[in-house]
Every structure is written in C-alpha cells, then in structure tokens.
Amino acid sequence: MSAIKINNLSKRFDNFKLDIDNIEIKKGFITGFIGPNGSGKTTTIKLIMGMLNEDSGSIEIFGKKHNLEEVYTKEIIGYVGDISGYLKESKISTIKKYISRFYNSWDENLYKKYINQFKLNENKVYN
C-alpha cells in the first residue's frame, strides 16, 4: 500500500513553478526531500499537508484524497516546520494540552513513556 501518491501535481507562484509527474511513497518508509533551495521541497510538503492548494493534479494519503480528508491527513502525518507556532515561553505541558485535543488517537501512555524515557521536564519552558 502507498502512504502517499502524487500524480501530475502543479503549483505556480509568480517566480516559481512546481511540476511533479508522480511520486509514490510506500507505507512503512521514511522519505526525505533533498535538493537545493528553491527546488520545491517545502512547497511539496505544504501541498501534502493542505497548507497550500494545488493548481492541478492529485495527492492521496493512504488512498484518500488529501484535500477532502484534511483532518485525517493531519492526524496521521507528523509535520514539524521551521516555525513551531508556539510562544517561546510555552511549557511542554501547555503545548501537550493543546496538541492532544487535535488527535482522536492521542495515546497518553505513550506520551508519558517518552517524557520519562527522554527525561523531559514538562514544566520546562519551550525554546
């Protein structure tokens, strides 16, 4: 099964054009986009995550059209961009409080396991 399928994807800005014939990422694989600045890596990821709308083409996440299943896409794909969106003075516990509400499948026991495994202090200020 494919985790992500991209077909005939196109996105244009004033001075940039992204055209992808097709990409297929199999389930269970970790995949990275590698290329020079301006080659479309971030644009592709933002299109997959529904942060941008494609001009044409299609993206499927586990067989579902990503733009029709945006909540599903965001629940199953972990994405960390260059800007977190949280205040620099946010504690881990505060971030967890807000993030966990977005996931129907939030696993509190797994969260606590990682907090303990990595010896994280939930009251520490997020940097």
Instruction: With CA atoms as reference, report the closest residue to 50 among 34, 39, 41, 61.
Output: 61
Q: What is the pLDDT of residues 58-81, one digit of tens each?
A: 999 888 887 766 777 777 777 666
Domains of the chain as residue ranges with CATH: 2-76 (3.40.50.300), 85-127 (no CATH)
Q: For position 97, what pLDDT does the model report?
A: 87
Q: What is the pLDDT of residues 71-119, one digit of tens each?
A: 777 777 776 666 666 666 788 898 888 888 878 888 999 999 999 999 9
Q: Report the 3 state secondary structure along the chain.
A: CEEEEEEEEEEEECCEEEEEEEEEEECCCCCCCCCCCCCCHHHHHHHHCCCCCCCEEEEEECCEECCCCHHHHHHHCCCCCCCCCCCCCCEHHHHHHHHHCCCCCCCHHHHHHHHHHCCCCCCCECC
